[in-house]
Structure 1
């Protein structure tokens, strides 16, 4: 009986191929413009979040989990993961575009949840300092500790895991996501609910992102 070879996966679109398509150029300009606008507005938003009174949530896991300063390890995992994700997506324009839309939607969802659910930091908080975010996105003179629900660092790595092609990079980013989720709990920088909710909002954001045209959906 004759057998038919499995079709090879569609190769990823190159930047010249993507740039020839008006839809790609328009979407890229739009999402970059919206991300720039969001970045300009976030410092005041987080300063407002920090001064609001909030609620302390009961968290049985944190009550039994001793707090330790693991900032160095957490941010090593976070920024190595981000570097891997960005390096993987840069030569894949349609995947990069979808990741940018997902990142924008994820931040809009996070702003909505932060606005709707004012929280006080968990008891035993050990200050988690992010060298980049603290410098560029927080306008408060005091550290921002109330940007809690949901965990942005956990969500960002998970979004990158969905955006990169299947394979070792995705598994590495999934492992990094789990590690960061655990580390922010060890630091008592987030409630358990913040970490557990992150995948739900990532799924919502990713589901709402524009998908690449059919020829490139299976690109590596």
Structure 2
């Protein structure tokens, strides 16, 4: 995503952001993103079929984010307070703080996607609640336009459906047990719908 920082982009007038004075919530955002995702990964990887879905989902989210960043180049919001995320900066961003990795919110989408993949309903609800809080904090900090955050659930849902489909049709094709239905309702915890 570093490649996107030098490309000229469009600055959006966001009526919601214009009503909010930005506040630095980097620490809270980092904690409410990283810890729930790590906890979710521990639970997901206990079951091999869920690990397969997770691998497809992570590839999917990287591909979708790369495509949307390529096709929708945006300048950062005017009053942005850059998000300090030591894990992303050191592992993925080469020590840089990125300002233009905007459409769509990866923090919000990853929390939602892990929440959809997790089987434990209590943890699923916790992750989805964290996604709501993190999305709100990203808007309050002016890290993302509101459309970036509002689009994240849509992309997470699409990626979830694709990852379940691909997992069921490829690696898990011959399994009689362990495959999950390819419905968002199942991902949201409604297993009997």
- Other structure's SS at 2:147 match: helix
1:69-148 equivalence runs, <5 A: 69-139=24-94, 143-148=97-102
Contact 1:96-1:163 at 8 Å conserved across structures: no
Quick one: structure 1 residues 113 and 128, their matched pair in 2 at CA, closer, same or farther if it must change by over 3 Å? same
Contact 1:148-1:194 at 8 Å conserved across structures: yes
Which one is further off, 93-102 or 67-76? Answer: 93-102
Give the aligned length. Answer: 174
| Match among 109, 112, 130 for residue 155 of structure 1 | 109
| Counterpart check, 1:168 vs 2:130 | no
User: Which structure 2 residue ranges, 5 or more long, are not aligned?
Assistant: 181-190
Quick one: structure 1 residues 65 and 136, their matched pair in 2 at CA, closer, same or farther if it must change by over 3 Å? same
User: 1:47 and 1:90 mapped to 2: Cα distance?
Assistant: 30
Quick one: structure 1 residues 167 and 138, their matched pair in 2 at CA, closer, same or farther if it must change by over 3 Å? same
Q: TM-score, normalised by structure 1?
A: 0.75
Q: TM-score, normalised by structure 2?
A: 0.85
| Counterpart check, 1:184 vs 2:138 | yes
User: 2:41 and 2:2 mapped to 1: Cα distance?
Assistant: 29
Question: Which structure has the bigger radius of gyration?
Answer: 1
Greater RCO (Cα-Cα under 8 Å, separation 6 or more):
1
| Counterpart check, 1:194 vs 2:148 | yes
User: 1:173 and 1:143 mapped to 2: Cα distance?
Assistant: 25
After superposition, the CA RMSD in angstroms is 1.8
Pairwise CA distance, 1:216: 0.8
Counterpart in the other structure of 1:33: none
